[in-house]
Amino acid sequence: MARMRAVDAAVLVLEKEGVSTAFGVPGAAINPLYSALKARGTVRHVLARHVEAASHMAEGYTRASARNIGVCLGTSGPAGTDMITGLYSASADSIPILCITGQAPRARLTKEDFQAVDIAAIASPVAKWAVTVMEPYLVPMTLQKAFHLMRSGRPGPVLVDLPIDVQLAEIEFDIDAYEPLPVFKPAMTRGQAEKALAMLNAADKPLIVAGGGIINADASDLLIEFAEITGVPVVPTLMGWGTIPDDHRLMAGMCGLQTSHRYGNATMLEADFVFGIGNRWANRHTGSVATYTKGKKFVHVDIEPTQIGRVFAPDLGVVSDAGAALKMLLDVATEWKTAGKLHDWSGWAKECQARKKAMKRKTHFENVPLKPQRVYEEMNRAFPRDTTYVSTIGLSQIAGAQFLHVYKPRNWINCGQAGPLGWTLPAVLGVRAARPEANIVALSGDYDFQFMIEELAAGAQHKLPYIHVVVNNAYLGLIRQSQRGFSMDYEVSLAFENINRKDDREAGYGVDHVAVAEAMGCKAVRVTKPEEFAGAFKEAERLMKEFSVPVVLEFILERVTNVSMGTEIDNITEFEDLAERNEDAPTAIALLD
């Protein structure tokens, strides 16, 4: 046993739990913990420009890493409230991050001290656990419990709040006697696997819906093996994209109202059986339950018991970690295949492949200003197969999911349920910190990019290089398209005559992202014409490698391009009738009405 400050014990615990990187902003109430981090020198710290951004950096770090958990640090009061969006985003997508906040002294917690707020109560609805530690000797054990909870069952975030006097108090602690707690994960039994496979065997047109739980469980290889043994086509969810390569013969496309493929929706509508593994039947995947479930039977496997039946009741529900379930299913399916007991779905798989080849959206346009579809076509050509894409929300992300290609797990990193604007830039810095050697490309519309544009400086300061594709139409594009239902185009334009922009063709697009990026210590390239694509991608790659900073690659788009989406998976509006046009927003609204 050794005598030390509670914060010194906390840092030893972080090390033992595998933490090597933290993101945050120091402040008076958290400075004791920072002093312990400095004294040890074992945890890299990335200084964010905003605490919400630090929480998204922690998210990006966890999402990109198969093992390590992202950590976010902040002081008392507004630092904790700034973390709430990150906690919500992580909780919604089952992502473990650890947020640690400073707090006023215990004796002042109810005295309305400066920056003293009950952050545990505020964070509780969006965290797996949120706690203010009131006794110094509980600090190491609280962190032990936090890591255990984050990793067990359905993963999720935890907030630990440390009053400053608790941090500074001395305790007796022996790190050599400390061990991380065993992780609890429920597992499918053989009997459950046999029931599920018997239901699958009775189907003529089955599909596997592969969710983000498979990626969380690092079980994508098992999914592919199971699909190949059975011959059943796979529809990944947005959070499960990459569980099976896009060009695999059994990858049947994504289904949904927005981030979907025409062939994926068509195949889902034809299916008579759906085997959901590690997914949550999100509404933008399903649309209305009545349309999605019509004429189908369902098996649902999820690690969280309350997810089974939350959206609709499956014909069979099994509580299990996705990896454990796939291992058991694979064992039984292999035995059945050897014994000749498995149904042959090769004809159905060929039907799915035929749709995949035939039902594609047009991408090749020569328009100036640029059409976004062409940008994604060129991205597929320019970036290597192992590229990791990071994105959040908006037409830029929706079009990315419709037109880009992903071939590996954790190569599409996206906040699915929360979708906060501004998430992309800080999250991609966390991804880079977790994977120093990866090919990383962020994807933003202009408004998402502007939301937390200050974090470019963090990327430059800490040498976190990546390429940030910004598709700029000077609009809140998704909201503008949504406003068609109200026959309006109101307060969604970001355009203005920027008196400092020299190029008249771009002056009306408002913010000069190239100038801002360069002011933040980064590099930037702007593209306005199709013939500039190839050179711009090469130049961005060269600048990133030479200067080891983020490189902004901005594409000036036509102001209005509607992206295919709809209210039901059988009622997606395709905009091919407008594909050759170049209307402004009011004209486009009139045409669509």
Of 421, 428, 464, 543, which residue is the catalytic one?
A: 421
Residue-wise DSSP of 266-284? HHHHH-SEEEEES----HH
162 in catalytic set: no
572 in catalytic set: no
What gap in Å lies between CA 86 and CA 52, rounded to an integer? 6
| C-alpha closest to that of 146 among 37, 22, 319, 10 | 10
556 in catalytic set: no
560 in catalytic set: no
What six digits make up the tokens of 35?
């002093």
Would you call 420 helix, strand, or coil by DSSP? coil
Of 43, 168, 229, 479, which residue is the catalytic one?
A: 479
Q: Phi first, then psi: give them for residue 192, nearest 5 degrees.
A: -65, -40
Cα–Cα distances (Å) from 542 to 173, 375, 420, 465, in that order, read: 50, 19, 31, 11
Of 11, 19, 25, 404, which residue is the catalytic one?
A: 25
What gap in Å lies between CA 443 and CA 441, rounded to an integer? 7
Strand order across the 70-74 sheet: 44-47, 21-24, 70-74, 97-103, 158-163, 129-132
Of 476, 552, 560, 589, which residue is the catalytic one?
A: 476
Name the burial class of residue 234, with classes exposed (0-12), middle (13-18) and buried (19+) by CB atoms within 10 angstroms of its CB. buried
What gap in Å lies between CA 587 and CA 564, rounded to an integer? 18
71 in catalytic set: no
Of 51, 143, 390, 443, which residue is the catalytic one?
A: 51
CA dihedral 384, 386, 391, 397 (to 10 degrees): 60
Sequence-distant (6+) residues with CB within 8 A of 222 are: 214, 323, 326, 327, 330
As annotated, the active-site residues are 25, 51, 421, 476, 479
